[in-house]
Amino acid sequence: MIQGHGGNKSKLAGQLGCRVEDIIDMSCNLNPLGPPENIHAIIRERLSAIHSLPEPDAASMCRGFARYHDIDPKNVMAGNGTTFFIYTIPRALYVKKAVIAAPAYSDYRDACRMHGIDPVHCLAKKEQNFQLDIDKVSGMAKGADLVFLCNPNNPTGVLTPKDKIAYLIKRHPNTCFVVDESYLPFVEDARNLSFVEDTHYPNLLVLSSMSKIFKIPGLRTGFLSGGTALIDKVMGHYQPWSVNSLAQEVITDIFAHPQAIESFYQRTRAYIHEEKQVFSQALQGISGISLFDAPTYFILAELDRMTASDFCRAIGRDKILIRDCGNFHGLSNRFVRFSLKTRDINLALADSIKKNLAPGTADHV
């Protein structure tokens, strides 16, 4: 179950015989600007927190998240990353039948299977640029206990309009919809697109990741929000001290400064918009690869002639790690994904792509 993820820098370094630090990881979806400047300072200043047990329910960071989103703290739970909740929800809700809007993050499927559930996938099609077919999802959601829906989606980056998801939620009141908004902070007008503040829906749970936007995946922090009845059911399967002391210190401090959050979000969005334009221009005229347009900072691409494994291996020789998407349900072995970083790194990837698809065209190496 833990094999289907990106970010294995050690494996590539071992294959190349180089240091792990020499590998550029563009396989994991993390903020290219890195964490806000004060996060490292918070960790240094509050390192002594590890000498004491954290709050068993992470109440302080829950209050901060609730205050920022203007919701009641009783509608929020904090966990060891959103993955903690993905694996807890099927058990907590006694799910028998689950639907996954796909292609999607493999842990939705793995979480279902861990609890004896064989989920069905509602596949978005490449021919429709992976836009979700709402009517198809609705048909499959009828009679289902649970629907997983990632918005914006990973790995396609597609953003489904809020009103279309709301239509599903209202149409199927006996089905719980889990909307994973891990990548929504990277999108313009995210606040109005989010369901976090819509706790009036009794059949909705929302996942919010801190790992991606603040680039702190090692701290393992995420939130689950929703109606009181569903939150209480999940809380019945909650383990005490599920969020470590340093993570609680960092996240509590972040939400104590809401203006800084908004400023950081805006800088991130502006940076991504510019870098995507530069990167796309760098690959103009190069055949053999097609990029799918999406509002996210990670890019799904389809290869015309090479398999994803061969392409990743070729790019890897330049010490750049990208994501082979062949194991995403609904994608073939011709799909790869890469997450943008700094200008120099992005252009280095563009050059590596050109070198491997159109020898002689790279000019930034």
Q: Enumerate residues 6+ apart whose C-beta is below 8 A from 175.
A: 141, 142, 144, 145, 146, 147, 203
Looking at 238-342, list the stretches that DSSP marks H as alpha helix, in order from N- to C-terminal side.
Answer: 245-255, 258-282, 308-316
Give the containing element (helix H, strand E) for 289.
Answer: strand 289-291
Nearest in space to 338 (alpha carbons), one of 176, 101, 155, 163:
155
Q: Count of CB atoms within 10 A of residue 181's CB?
A: 23
9-30+260-357 to CATH, choices 3.40.50.10490, 3.20.20.70, 2.60.120.1310, 3.90.1150.10: 3.90.1150.10
The length of the chain is 365
Q: Which residue has the tokens 């990029």?
A: 291
pLDDT at 175: 98
**Cα separations in angstroms, 22 against 13, 19, 245, 321, 355:** 8, 5, 31, 11, 20
- Fold topology of 39-256: Aspartate Aminotransferase; domain 2 (3.40.640)
Give, in order, the Cα–Cα distances in Å from 109 to each of 137, 142, 261, 275, 300.
Answer: 16, 19, 32, 33, 20
The answer to whether 50 and 246 are in contact (CB under 8 A) is yes
Which segments of the chain belong to CATH 3.90.1150.10?
Answer: 9-30+260-357
Radius of gyration of the chain (CA): 20
Task: Please name which of 344, 338, 336 lies closest in space to residue 364, comparing C-alpha atoms.
Answer: 344
241 closest CA partner among 50, 2, 1: 50
Give the pairing type, strands 24-25 and 320-321: parallel
For the entire predicted model, the pTM comes to: 0.94
- For tokens 């069905």, the residue is 120
User: Measured between alpha carbons, how far is 16 from 207 in angstroms, rounded to an integer?
Assistant: 37
Kindly report, as residue ranges, where domains of CATH 3.40.640.10 are found in the chain: 39-256
- Residue 185 in contact with residue 213, Cβ under 8 Å? yes
Q: Give the DSSP letter string of 187-250.
A: STTHHHH--TT-TT-TTEEEEEESHHHHT-GGG--EEEEE-HHHHHHHHTTPPTT-S-HHHHHH
pLDDT tens, the chain, 365 aa long:
445 555 689 999 999 999 999 999 999 999 999 999 899 999 999 999 999 999 999 999 999 999 999 999 999 999 999 999 999 999 999 999 999 999 999 999 999 999 999 999 999 999 999 999 999 999 999 999 999 999 999 999 999 999 999 999 999 999 999 999 999 999 999 999 999 999 999 999 999 999 999 999 999 999 999 999 999 999 999 999 999 999 999 999 999 999 999 999 999 999 999 999 999 999 999 999 999 999 999 999 999 999 999 999 999 999 999 999 998 999 999 999 999 999 999 999 999 999 999 765 555 43
- C-alpha 32/C-alpha 264 separation (Å) is 12
Alpha-carbon gap, residue 141 to 95, rounded angstroms: 13
Take residue 38 and report the two structure tokens written for it. 């004060």
Q: What is the identity of the amino acid at 203?
A: N
